[in-house]
Structure 1
């Protein structure tokens, strides 16, 4: 099957890319990490104006993936997966398009992301979506993801939580794909500029092969993400999440290696994507969980 974005989807992707390219998203990410939410909230409002927060209910999973790949490519801060993927499906009768919300879904999402800045906090407990109160903050490998313990309270009327989880997992896969693409782009630019022994290190076959392996991994992940967006069954979503996590992890490892010692520094913007990838790999279902779900589905259909 050949998958191509429609003209409208391509135009939407271009609009997002234009907006995010003109914005200092790395600066917004760093400010968010330090507790200054103003740049991130301003960017949130602009993206909401483009309809990103309404895609889960007013568009298809394909548009959701288009948006989240762009969010990952630019390391946009904020509880986007919770606000724009999970909760709109979990709360179909609640208009969340103009607000920022977050949710904890133990055991796969034990903490609520950015509960210090949102308007509404929820938690899933006993297979019910409930309002929640914010408790102690926990550390995160990605400083732009502020994680909080929450206490579940009274239940609320909700929709299909399994479908909501699957869309959130798919959005996470798309964001990982975008982050992996950005790391590869930065790595290719770096190896063309950095010289050793009088030659750009990108001219060495060993470097070329590693970057080519990243390119292949990302190109193998994208059809699975798009396929799950077209037909978002649990098996397809799990396959997409596993492959996108593996591809992004490969991109991060190779990117760190080709950048050398500077790649370990927090001052280099590359660290924003490396840490985001590290945080998203286990988010909304670890690779092990999704492999188990994929295997169970395959065995059931034999």
Structure 2
């Protein structure tokens, strides 16, 4: 099976890239890290105008009722440009947990949503910025409070990510639609792909500019091989992410969905970590500095690698699924 973006998806990706490229997302991310949210909220409103937050929202609630593959396009762009905030939770998880007027506000860009889904997602991301904080307990969706004073925020290697303990009990809103967790994993996988592409682009550009012994370092075979390895890893990961989106839309059984979703997360994590390591190696000491934009993607990838389940946990899911499929 060959996966390729439709003309509409390519146009959507181009529109997102044009918007985000002109939005100074590194500056927005640095403001967000200082818990100054207004620049980020302004960007979120602009993304709402392109329909990002309503992609998976049913049409009767003002959304596009699109496929998971469309959300992958949007979240990969968010990863490429380091858009801060609970983008995965709002884009792909909230439509599985909310309904009615609440969901209409999400589609309109009026409500930023975060969620905890224990045990895999025990803390609510950026609960101090979100308008709605949810917790999924089994199939029950609860609107909860979160400990958002200075002692409640948990540290993250990514300074833009604020992690908050979620209350164990809250107002029950109803039952969740299927695959909320799976969609969260898919969303993070798409973000990782986008971040990996950005770091590869940054490393390639820097290698064409930095000179040693009278030549751009990108002309040396050793550097070319490093960048080629990242390209291959990304090329191998992308079909797994796209394939997982197709599986989600197909109505497949939960074990099959989680097998494909977990495989996508493992591959995307591997590609992003390789891109981070290679980009830092190509940049050298300047890549370690807080002032260089590369650090925004380095720390984000390190955080997303463990978000919504570690690679080891997802490898175990894949192994369990494969063993079950081949059991006598």
Q: How far does residue 235 in structure 1 lie from its aligned partner after superposition?
A: 1.2
**Structure 1 residues 76-103: Cα deviation after superposition (integer angstroms, max 9, x where no partner):** 0111111111121122444132310111
Q: For structure 1, which segment, 46-55 or 89-98, has the greater mean C-alpha deviation from structure 2 after superposition? A: 89-98
Q: 1:290 & 1:160 partners in 2: Cα distance?
A: 22
Q: Is the 1:130–1:152 Cα contact (8 Å) retained in structure 2?
A: no
User: Please, which of 37, 61, 66 is the counterpart of residue 68 of structure 2?
Assistant: 61
Q: Retained in 2: the 8 A contact 1:177–1:247?
A: yes
Partner of 2:214: 198
Alpha-carbon distance in structure 2 between the residues aligned to 1:231 and 1:127: 21
**TM-score, with length taken from structure 2:** 0.89
How far has the Cα of 1:126 moved from its partner? 5.1
The 3-state SS of whatever aligns with 2:153 is: strand
Q: What's the Cα RMSD here?
A: 1.3
Corresponding residue for residue 2 of structure 1: 2
Shift of 1:18: 1.0
Q: Which residue number corresponds to residue 314 of structure 2?
A: 290
Tell me the equivalent position of 1:15: 15
Deviation string 1:173-232 (CA, Å, 9 cap, x unpaired) is 011000000000000000111112222111111111111000000011111111111122
* 1:160 aligns to 2:177 (yes or no): yes
Shift of 1:48: 1.2
Superposition pairs for residues 61-210 of structure 1, below 5 Å? 61-93=68-100, 94-95=102-103, 96-97=106-107, 98-125=110-137, 128-135=140-147, 136-154=152-170, 155-160=172-177, 163-210=179-226
- 1:301 correspondence with 2:325: yes
Residue 250 (structure 1) aligned to one of 267, 271, 274 = 274
Aligned counterparts of 1:70 and 1:245: Cα–Cα separation in 2: 16
Matches of 2:5 and 2:275 in 1, distance apart?
A: 25
Partner of 2:300: 276
State how far apart, in whole Å, the 2-side matches of 1:273 and 1:221 are.
18
Where 2:54 maps in the other structure, the secondary structure is: helix
SS of equivalent to 1:54: coil
- Could you report, residue by residue, the CA deviation over 1:145-178 in whole angstroms, capped at 9, with x for unpaired residues? 11111212233202235x0111110011011000
Moved more, 150-159 or 263-272: 150-159
Q: Distance in 2 between matches of 1:243 and 1:9?
A: 23
CA distance in 1, matches of 2:31, 2:266: 31
1:70-125: CA deviations, max 9, x gaps?
Answer: 00000001111111111211224441323101111222222111111111111233
Separation in 2, partners of 1:109, 1:270:
27
* Secondary structure of 1:278's aligned partner: helix
Structure 1 CA distance for aligned equivalents of residues 119 and 176 of structure 2: 20
SS in 2 for 1:145: coil
CA distance in 2, matches of 1:287, 1:106: 17
1:133 and 1:152 in contact (8 A); partners too = no
TM-score by length of 1: 0.96
Deviates more, 1:271-280 or 1:53-62: 53-62
Unaligned 5+ residue runs, structure 2?
58-64, 249-256
Q: Is the 8 A contact 2:139 2:175 kept in 1?
A: no
SS in 1 for 2:144: strand
Distance 1:52 1:285 in 2: 24
Report the Cα offset of residue 128 of structure 1. 2.9
